[in-house]
Amino acid sequence: MLDIKFVRENPEIVKENIKKKFKEHKLPLVDEVIAIDIEKRAANTEANDLRANRNKVSREIGALMAKGEKDKAMEMRELVNSQAKRLAELEAKESELEKELIKKLSQIPNIIDDSVPIGKNDEENVEVERFGEAKEAEFEIPYHTDIMAKFNGIDKAAAGKVAGEGFYYLMGDIARLHSAVLSYARDFMIDKGFTYCIPPFMIRSNVVTGVMSFEEMDAMMYKIEGEDLYLIGTSEHSMIGKFIDSQTDEAELPLTLTSYSPCFRKEKGAHGIEERGIYRIHQFEKQEMIVICKPEESMDWFHKMWSYSVELFRSLDIPVRTLECCSGDLADLKVKSYDVEAWSPKQQKYFEVCSCSNLGDAQARRLGIRVKGEDGQKYLAHTLNNTVVAPPRMLIAFLENNLNFDGQRYSIKIPKALRPYMGNKSIIWEK
């Protein structure tokens, strides 16, 4: 959410930013916000004048009563009472205008970084760099759920009976791989100096609207019926929410945390080959990283965070590439974002496994996350988040890139980094 003062003073910059994001339907919001702001400030000025006059008259009434001029005092008291009604009307008006102002401000996209490429959608994202050789397999790689089935590792049919489409049972060595990847990712981030955290898996509506746009909320979140609670779509939501209405001394920054959680998503509109199997599902587990830092350090942390994802995937022998999201592919709160994509030997293309985002002060403004500088001045923090790993999607890349076939049986190679979490196994065999 933008600062109303910035919008008031820079309406053309805000409108140009909306155009860069190809969201022209939001252009009227700028003028609407400015009009509401003018009306709200006028009401505030009149209310302040009435309050000042009330205080002045109250002192005069006291003086008149002390002099015994009761009749004059009562006349002035009637004036105060008549103004009190108008003051109450103005205060109610201010409150309603403030709500409307915040609602409309929350729909205006954040100002993107100057380095973000301009493009309409994800088809115009820009490749930054590749890591590892994207090889073609020497044998035909089965579809990922078929790989898991060969190791007696998945049961979607039973899950469909229990919970419906978009759920699964993982079993045996595949389930163990799933947990091993998460445990390895946890320790990988702890070794980078991040504090491990397990957050609440439900959050209140004021936290939801503090961390994401209304469009994202509707597309992603499951609401608990009859309660002001939502299931989290990622632990970033509750981790950033941890600092709601907080003030942190500048010397304590940056705050670097890595969190584990299950995640729950509606996943509206899923289709195509990647959408079958367990690529897009309603429930999965995830290791996340978040950083809360000074504004001038946020871009440095942005580059560190996506590089950590690359390092982790390469340690598991998975080729990856980094894409910069173009302006039209950025969610409203984001200043800049990279996607890390893993190579799929089966599909002969890359697919998204991590998303690293710098949100500037947008979340901090909505949630009241402030920093107290050494000079005593307070300012808004910057917030960032990035996926460490999100199996089972990450597990698809792992299986395809570490699968072997000797002509009779399939096997999965366990990279050295993961072996301590797999009972020191170096390989698992098809059942």
pLDDT tens digits, residue range 308-367? 999 999 999 999 999 999 999 999 999 999 999 999 999 999 999 999 999 999 999 999
Is 427 a residue whose pLDDT tops 50?
Answer: yes
Residue 334: burial class (beta carbons within 10 Å; 0-12, 13-18, 19+):
buried
Q: What is the mean pLDDT of the chain?
A: 92
Q: Does the pLDDT of residue 219 top 90, yes or no? A: no
* Least confident residue range of 108-112, 133-137, 186-190, 318-322: 133-137
Q: Which residue has the tokens 């920093």?
A: 371
200 cis-preceded (ω within 30 degrees of 0): no
Instruction: Evaluate whether 339 touches 355 at the Cβ level (below 8 Å).
Output: yes
Q: What integer is the mean pLDDT of 406-427?
A: 96
Q: Give the CB-side neighbour count of residue 162, counting CA atoms within 13 A.
A: 8
Is the confidence at residue 293, as pLDDT, over 60? yes
Q: Which residue has the tokens 């078929």?
A: 146
Residue type, 185: A
Pair of tokens at residue 38: 């003018």
pLDDT at 355: 95
What is the reported pLDDT for 71?
Answer: 66
User: What is the pLDDT at residue 73?
Assistant: 64
Instruction: Look at residue 272 and tell me whether its pLDDT is greater than 70.
Output: no
Q: What confidence score (pLDDT) does residue 346 get?
A: 94
| Whether residue 269 has pLDDT greater than 50 | no
For residue 276, is pLDDT > 70? no
Output the six-digit token pair for 135: 């090889």
Q: Write down the pLDDT at residue 273.
A: 40
- pLDDT value at residue 127: 97
Alpha-carbon distance of 301 to 359, in angstroms, equals 12
Domains and CATH numbers, the chain: 4-105 (1.10.287.40), 122-429 (3.30.930.10)
Please tell me whether residue 186 adopts helix, strand or coil conformation.
Answer: helix
What's the average model confidence in pLDDT over 383-393? 94
- Per-residue model confidence as pLDDT tens digits over 3-45: 999 999 999 999 999 999 999 999 999 999 999 999 999 999 9
**Average pLDDT of span 86-98:** 92
Give dist(CA 245, CA 364) in Å, integer: 9
pLDDT at 189 over 70: yes
Asked if 398 contacts 386 with a C-beta cutoff of 8 angstroms, the reply is no
β-partners of residue 164 are: none
Residue 318: predicted pLDDT: 97
